[in-house]
Amino acid sequence: MHVHSIFSFDGLMRIDKLIKICIKKGLRGVSITDHDTLRGSSEALRIAKDYENFLVIPGEEISTNYGDILAYFVQEEIKAADVYEVIDKIKEQDGLSIIAHPYECLDRYPVDLLSKIDGVELFNSRSLFARSLPDELNNLLKKAKEHNWILTAGSDAHLYCEIGRAYIKSDEDISELEEMRHAIEKKRIRIFGVPTPPFVKIISQLVGCFRAKRWCSLLYYIIPRKFSIR
């Protein structure tokens, strides 16, 4: 889950090759969640018809005024930037709303919104948390229990080498998309993952800066600077 293709401004993966690598690595499905577009998901659904028993969960990573929201099982593209409007539009499509990489942004969200979302990414291979801080994990698990959240995992892959670094697994016999949705909703999934090396993330961020002509952001990654973690 949570994979980016060439339809994301910072993605480098072609859909056809992406699916082949998923299958080679033993994955039985994927969710393409490109930034603010369903084009990647639409192409993946079309290509996946050529492969037996391979599921594509339609998805999109939506930029909002508070942070990124993953919309799973949606059929129509969502362009809204206001987080409340985004959540409402996902619900209108009977989709699932998941906060992406929550360790980096959860504190920004209004308290009343936390009861409206469906869940959070417990593990994101690119997240800072993937390399640190059990206290952050315990805090998120506490909030998840309080709000009855679904917990998911995502590789947040932008490069082929990242595919499968995080994934979900169900012990149920799943062959249809609706069965996968039911397993996720009922929390009948397990989470697996390993961290992605930081330099891999930087590569795709540099690509994104070039494509979007974000020269100030590009300098942020090039100029040496001190790091601190609070």
pLDDT for residue 225: 38
The tokens for 54 are 């391979």
Contact, 156 vs 2, CB < 8 A? yes
* Inter-CA distances, 43 with 19, 169, 192, Å: 11, 24, 27
Nearest to 166 by CA among 156, 177, 158: 156
Q: At what angle do helices 198-212 and 215-222 cross, to 10 degrees?
A: 150
CA distance 119 to 185: 9
pLDDT for residue 210: 66
Residue 171, Cβ density class (10 Å: 0-12 exposed, 13-18 middle, ≥19 buried)? exposed
- 69 backbone φψ class: left, alpha, beta (φ>0; ψ -120 to 50): beta
pLDDT for residue 9: 86
* pTM over cut 0.75: yes
pLDDT for residue 229: 31
pLDDT for residue 132: 54
* Inter-CA distances, 34 with 11, 13, 16, 106, Å: 8, 11, 15, 21
| Structural domains in the chain plus CATH codes | 15-196 (3.20.20.140)
Per-residue pLDDT of the chain (230 residues; tens, 9 = 90+): 999 999 998 888 999 999 999 999 999 999 999 999 999 999 999 999 999 999 999 999 999 999 999 999 999 999 888 999 999 999 999 999 999 999 888 889 999 999 999 999 999 998 866 555 678 888 899 999 999 999 999 999 999 999 999 999 998 889 899 999 999 999 999 999 999 988 877 777 777 666 656 645 444 444 443 333 32
- 9 backbone φψ class: left, alpha, beta (φ>0; ψ -120 to 50): alpha
Neighbours of 53 (CB within 10 A): 10
Strand partners, 97: 71
CA distance 173 to 200: 34
